Structure 1
Amino acid sequence: GARVAEIGRGFGMRVTGWGRSFCESKAEVLGIDRAETIEDVLREADFLTVHLPLTTQTRHILSAERLKLLKENSIIVNMARGGVIDENALAAAVANGRIRAGGDVYEHEPTDSGAEITSPLAELENYQGTHHIGGLTIQAQEAIGEGVIGTLEDFFYS
C-alpha cells in the first residue's frame, strides 16, 4: 500500500490510509492522512485500493453493508486477497453501475493458470480482472528479488 500511496500523491491525490495497526506516525512518514475507521475511508474515497491480508478478522471486511458506503462512481481495486471483499456484494454493486472495480484476485482462485475463472465478477463487462498474474511482470519479479536481498542484508548485517 505504501507504494500505491506514493504514486497517488504523485498525481496530486489526497491519500488516506486505514488499518488496525496503521498508526499516525506511519501516516506521517508516508505523507498521508490516517482514517479512524474503515467506514471513514469508504465514505470519503473516490478511488479505493485494498491491501489487507486475508485473516479471520478481514474475511469479507468489505461487506455489502460497507460497500454501500462508497460514493457512486467510485473505483475499487483489490490488490490483496479475494476473500477480503464479499465478492457477491461487489459483483452486485458493479453490475448495477453504482461503482467500478478491478483486481488481480478472486475469492475462489482457479488452481491452474489455464482454468476458467468462475467468479460472478468475471461475467461482468465493467469489471477489469486478471488471473492472479499481476506479480508476474519483469518489474515485479525484480522488485521481489530486491526485497529478498534487502531482507537478507538486514538479517546478516544488522
Structure 2
Amino acid sequence: MTTAPSSAEPTVKNVLAVVSPHVGGRTAGAGLATLFPGQARVTVVEAVDEDPAALREAHVIITGLSPVTAEHFAAAPGLELVQCASHGFDYVDLEAARPRGIPVCNIGSSGAEKQNVAEQTFALMLALAKQLVPAHTALTEADWALPRLQRSITELSGKTLGIVGLGHIGEEVARRAVAFDMTIVYAGPKPLSAKTEARLGGARHVGLDELLRTSDYVTLHAPLTEATRHLLDAERLALLKPTAFVVNTARGALIDQDALADALESGGLAGAGIDVFDPEPPTAALRLLRAPNVVLSPHVAGVTRETLVRIALAAVQNVADFVEGKPPRDVVS
C-alpha cells in the first residue's frame, strides 16, 4: 500500500537576530533572512528587548555582543537556542540557560575570527617592540627622538612568547610566532599532542605562573568565565619581568585593569597592548587610557570586513542546521 505524502507543514522557527549598531545594525542585518531555509522567520533588531513581541515568540536568538540576560530568557518561553556571533560568550547568562536545557553556542570551531585576531595580536606586539606610538607622537611634535627611542626598541626574534589559552586563535598566534623565531610556551587545561607542539616550533605546556615568570610577551586567548575573571591580578602581574609586555585581544575582564595600570605606572611592566576593556566602551576614568607605553584599540581585533562576513555565515549556518533538525555545534553551556 502506498502511503500518501504528509500535508503537514514544517514547523516555522522564529529567529531574533540582534545586529549591533557598531556593525551596521538593521541595515547590515537586512540580508539575514535570505540565508535561512524556508522554515525560519527572521526579525532583525539592534537590542534583544527592542521588540518585546518578537522576543516573546523567539525560538532562536542570534547575538553578537548584545547581552542576553536572565530576564530575556524569562521573556522568551519558547526559546530553544542562543547563537553567539562571536568566539566569546560571556555576555549570555549561561546559568539562566542551563535549567531549561537551552544550548548556547559560539562560532569557535569555524575559525572565523582566528586570522584577524592573530594579526591584531602581532600588530600590538610589533607596535610595542618598535615603539611606534611614541615614535609617531614625537615626530608630529617636531621631536627627532631617535637617540631616546634607540634605547627602548627591541626585536621579537629570540624572545619567549607566553600564550594563555592555545585554542584556535592561540594556535594561529603561535604559527606566526614561529615565523618570527620566537620561543613558545603556553598554559591551558591540558597539553597539545607532541606532533602539534613540534609543528608549533617545539611549544611547551607550562603552568601559568611559570609562563608569566619566563615570558617576554604574554598574550591572552582564554574565554572569560568566573574562573578566569581577573586571571592576571596584581599578584600574577608581579610575576612578570619588568621588561615584559602584556597583550589582550580576548576579553577585558581577564586582567585587573587597575592592577595593570599600577604595574605600568610603577615600571613593573614594560608595556601593554589592549584591544578589549571592562566595561566597553571604557569610561574616561580608565587609567589605562593615560598609562605609559600602552597601545590601545577599540575591540577591533575580530571586526575586519572579511571577518564579519565569516562570523555571520558561521552563526547563520549553525542556526540553519538547527532549524532543519541537526544538532548544534560549539555548545558552550
- Cα separation, partners in 2 of 1:96 and 1:22, compared to 1, 3 Å: same
Equivalent residue number for residue 148 of structure 1: 314
Q: SS where residue 135 of structure 1 aligns?
A: coil
- Between the aligned partners of 2:278 and 2:244, the Cα distance in structure 1 is 21
Alignment match of 2:278 (pick from 107, 122, 133): 107
- Cα separation, partners in 2 of 1:24 and 1:89, compared to 1, 3 Å: farther
- Cα separation, partners in 2 of 1:13 and 1:145, compared to 1, 3 Å: same
- Between the aligned partners of 1:27 and 1:147, the Cα distance in structure 2 is 31
User: 1:21: Cα distance to partner?
Assistant: 3.6
Whether the aligned pair in 2 keeps the contact of 1:106 and 1:119 (CA below 8 Å) is no
Equivalent residue number for residue 76 of structure 1: 246
- Between the aligned partners of 1:145 and 1:57, the Cα distance in structure 2 is 26
Equivalent residue number for residue 44 of structure 1: 214
- Cα separation, partners in 2 of 1:117 and 1:8, compared to 1, 3 Å: farther
Equivalent residue number for residue 233 of structure 2: 63
- Between the aligned partners of 1:98 and 1:49, the Cα distance in structure 2 is 17
Q: SS where residue 213 of structure 2 aligns?
A: helix
Equivalent residue number for residue 172 of structure 2: 3
- Cα separation, partners in 2 of 1:57 and 1:28, compared to 1, 3 Å: farther
Equivalent residue number for residue 123 of structure 1: 290
Misfit runs of 4+, over 6 Å: none
- Between the aligned partners of 1:146 and 1:46, the Cα distance in structure 2 is 36
Aligned length: 148
User: 1:133: Cα distance to partner?
Assistant: 1.7
- Between the aligned partners of 2:239 and 2:298, the Cα distance in structure 1 is 28
User: 1:116: Cα distance to partner?
Assistant: 5.2
**Could you state the TM-score of these two structures normalised by the residue count of structure 1?**
0.80
Task: Identify unmatched segments of 5+ residues in structure 1.
Answer: none
- Cα separation, partners in 2 of 1:50 and 1:139, compared to 1, 3 Å: same
Amino acid across the alignment from 1:107: D
Whether the aligned pair in 2 keeps the contact of 1:17 and 1:32 (CA below 8 Å) is no
- Between the aligned partners of 2:180 and 2:245, the Cα distance in structure 1 is 16
Please, what is the CA RMSD of the aligned residues? 2.6
User: 1:102: Cα distance to partner?
Assistant: 1.1
- Cα separation, partners in 2 of 1:71 and 1:83, compared to 1, 3 Å: same
**Would you say 1:134 and 2:304 are equivalent positions?**
no
Amino acid across the alignment from 2:235: E
- Between the aligned partners of 1:58 and 1:105, the Cα distance in structure 2 is 15
Task: Identify unmatched segments of 5+ residues in structure 2.
Answer: 1-169, 327-333
- Between the aligned partners of 1:147 and 1:31, the Cα distance in structure 2 is 33
Q: How does 1:18-57 map to 2 (within 5 A)?
A: 18-25=187-194, 26-57=196-227
Question: Which of 89-98 and 118-127 deviates more?
Answer: 118-127
Q: SS where residue 183 of structure 2 aligns?
A: coil
Amino acid across the alignment from 1:95: E
Whether the aligned pair in 2 keeps the contact of 1:117 and 1:131 (CA below 8 Å) is no
User: 1:74: Cα distance to partner?
Assistant: 0.7
Amino acid across the alignment from 1:109: E
Whether the aligned pair in 2 keeps the contact of 1:60 and 1:84 (CA below 8 Å) is yes
Q: SS where residue 250 of structure 2 aligns?
A: coil
Q: SS where residue 49 of structure 1 aligns?
A: strand
